Amino acid sequence: MDETVKNTKPQKRLKPSSDAFKQVREAKIGLIRKLIAKARIKSPWLLHFDCGSCNGCDIETLACLTPVYDIERFGIINVGNPKHADILLVTGTVNHRNKKVLKKLYDQMPDPKVVVAIGACALSGGIFRECDNVVGGVDRVIPVDVFVPGCPGKPEAIIDGVILGLQKFVQKQKGAKDGD
Amino acid sequence: MMLLYNILIIIAVLLLTPIAVGLILGIDRKITAKCQSRKGPPLLQPFFDLFKLFGKEHVITNRWQYFCTYIYLVSAQLAIVLLFLGADLLLIFFVQASCAVFLVIGAMAVPSPYSQIGAHRELLQVLTYEPLLILIIIGIYMTTGSFMVDAVFAVNRPLLYDLPLMIVVLGYVLTIKLRKSPFDIASSHHAHQEIVRGVHTEFAGGNFGIVELAHWYEIGLALCLCMLFWATSIWGALAVLAIAFFLEILVDNISARMTWSWMLFHVWLVGFTLAAINLIWLYMR
Ligand code: SF4
């Protein structure tokens, strides 16, 4: 009798070790995680690195910033600073000179981050592939998440590539959660 | 009872300031985009940016950066809380000066030349607007007879009638504080206008989020100072706020960034002259 009465009493304060407390805490953490995940998709800041491109791809990339394409409507901002960037856009082939710079820029970006390689050159080395000093595509130096083909890649394709990169954020987050 | 009331005010100010300032900045970005015939980001974009930054890795180059960003945040919060508690304007002034300085120290704590140059420019900005802010506070003192914020509410006549030129001077201070053109010397409020980010260059990830949040509190303080000029009615205060902010956006969109020497010369020349005329007029009355 006493036991049942005790159990039905409403608990005023949850004990840190109790399951209910853990559930509440999990729910709170889950909510914050969801909020941040949503914000991450809504606010990707780009860093554009010209890794030895013929400038064709660069012109198309910068065209996205013009009022015609207006990428700011997706919350996208082109920042010049790797320390503030979420997405690294790389155009052009990698050569032995600039591979260190590329690696350094990638390392300076705080996690989570996504790399989008733009144009035939960034994919495989393109028409410069056979050159002496060329290492090849961007994926030889840093992990690439999205490849945007074309010579040069169209602004529409580049915007699509960035949006695809945002979905990678979600996947990466899921992967991280499963790994916990 | 008084204590409870004060605690409630503190909590409300700490919670509502970021919400209000975030919305104002969202409107700012919308209007700016419309001026450039773009669609622009959603209204809540500043909040997305902030939450995203909080979710990022905390990367610091030097442990002092941590210390400086937190002091920056706390003193920015303290300054606006003091304003709402009706404290001494001079005290508020010194607290907000210390918060500006801690941002500079944080940027100076790292050897990066970009950050160093940004820090020097930020110092020049602080040097430009702080004397003007003091003159504005002296103007308020000459009108109300006290340095306390409460005294502004005690006189039932808007400060604007006695300090018409001071609000123009405050407009200069606001432009510098909001990091808008032509005074976005240390770092622009629009990230895409920058090659690197001046004084913000070395703040990254979650740490940069804290710097952003602290800056929101600073903007909140500057906007509240504007509203103080029509403290007698809430609608008057809101009208002053709206007009001031609209003019800020307009100036931002029609001007380009100038050099620090131009800023120092121009702002001091115009600011000191206007402030002096206003103060002399108050004295002669
Ligand atoms: S893919 Fe074509 S346009 Fe782009 S950098 Fe290479 S050669 Fe130039």
Contact yes or no for A86 and B52 at CB 8 A: yes
Identify the pLDDT of residue A4.
Answer: 47
Q: Which domain holds residue B16?
A: 2-284
Percent above pLDDT 90 for chain B: 45
Q: What is the pLDDT along chain A (180 residues), one digit of tens a residue?
A: 444 444 555 555 666 677 777 788 788 888 888 888 888 888 888 888 888 888 888 898 888 877 788 888 888 888 888 888 889 999 989 988 888 999 999 998 988 889 999 988 888 888 888 888 888 888 888 999 999 988 888 888 988 898 888 888 777 766 665 544
Spatial neighbors of B21 by CB under 8 A, at least 6 apart, are B216, B217, B219, B220, B223
Judge if the beta carbon of residue A146 lies within 6 A of ligand 1. Answer: no
User: How far is the centre of ligand 1, averaged over its atoms, from the C-alpha of A153 (Å)?
Assistant: 8
| Residue B197 in contact with partner chain A when CB distance is under 8 A | yes
pTM of structure:
0.89
Q: Looking at CA atoms only, how far is residue A12 from chain B in angstroms?
A: 24
Contact yes or no for A83 and B202 at CB 8 A: yes
Contact yes or no for B194 and A79 at CB 8 A: yes
Residue whose C-alpha is closest to residue B199's, from B100, B265, B283, B64: B100
Neighboring chain B residues of A80 at a CB cutoff of 8 Å: 194-197
Whether B239 has a pLDDT exceeding 60, the answer reads yes
> What CATH number should be reported for the domain whose range is A45-174?
3.40.50.12280
CA distances from A17 to A20, A21, B14, B37, B174 (A): 9, 7, 32, 57, 51
Residue whose C-alpha is closest to residue B61's, from A82, A18, A67: A82
Evaluate the CA torsion angle A33, B64, B125, B276 in order and state its sign.
positive
**Closest atom, ligand 1, to C-alpha of A54:** 8
pLDDT digits (tens, 9 = 90+) for B116-167: 988 999 999 999 999 999 999 999 999 888 898 888 888 888 888 888 899 9
Identify the pLDDT of residue A2.
Answer: 46
Identify the pLDDT of residue B271.
Answer: 93
Identify the pLDDT of residue A26.
Answer: 81
pLDDT digits (tens, 9 = 90+) for B176-228: 988 888 888 877 777 666 777 888 888 888 889 999 999 999 999 999 999 98
Judge if the beta carbon of residue A56 lies within 6 A of ligand 1. Answer: yes
The structural domain count of chain B equals 1
Please name the residue that has the structure tokens 């929101």.
B216
Whether B81 has a pLDDT exceeding 90, the answer reads yes
Neighboring chain A residues of B57 at a CB cutoff of 8 Å: 110-112
**Closest atom, ligand 1, to C-alpha of A123:** 1
Per-domain residue ranges of chain A: 45-174
Alpha-carbon gap, residue A107 to B147, rounded angstroms:
51
Phi, psi of A166 (to 5 degrees): -65, -35
Judge if the beta carbon of residue A176 lies within 6 A of ligand 1. Answer: no
Q: Looking at CA atoms only, how far is residue B70 from chain A in angstroms?
A: 19
User: How far is the centre of ligand 1, averaged over its atoms, from the C-alpha of A172 (Å)?
Assistant: 29
**Closest atom, ligand 1, to C-alpha of A53:** 5
Q: Which residues of A touch B (CB under 8 A)?
A: 35-40, 42-43, 45, 65, 67, 70, 72-75, 77-81, 83-84, 86, 108, 110-112
Looking at residues B236-242, what average pLDDT do you find?
A: 90
**What's chain A's Rg over C-alpha atoms?**
23
Whether B63 has a pLDDT exceeding 80, the answer reads yes
Q: Looking at CA atoms only, how far is residue A5 from chain B in angstroms?
A: 38
Which amino acid, residue B50? L
Spatial neighbors of B73 by CB under 8 A, at least 6 apart, are B210, B211, B213, B214, B217
User: How far is the centre of ligand 1, averaged over its atoms, from the C-alpha of A167 (Å)?
Assistant: 26
pLDDT digits (tens, 9 = 90+) for B22-60: 999 999 999 988 888 888 888 999 999 999 888 888 888
Task: For this complex, say whether ipTM is above 0.85.
Answer: no
Identify the pLDDT of residue A180.
Answer: 42
Identify the pLDDT of residue B156.
Answer: 81
Q: Long-range contacts: B280-283, Cβ < 8 Å, 24+?
A: B282/B139, B282/B142, B282/B143, B282/B162, B282/B163, B283/B142
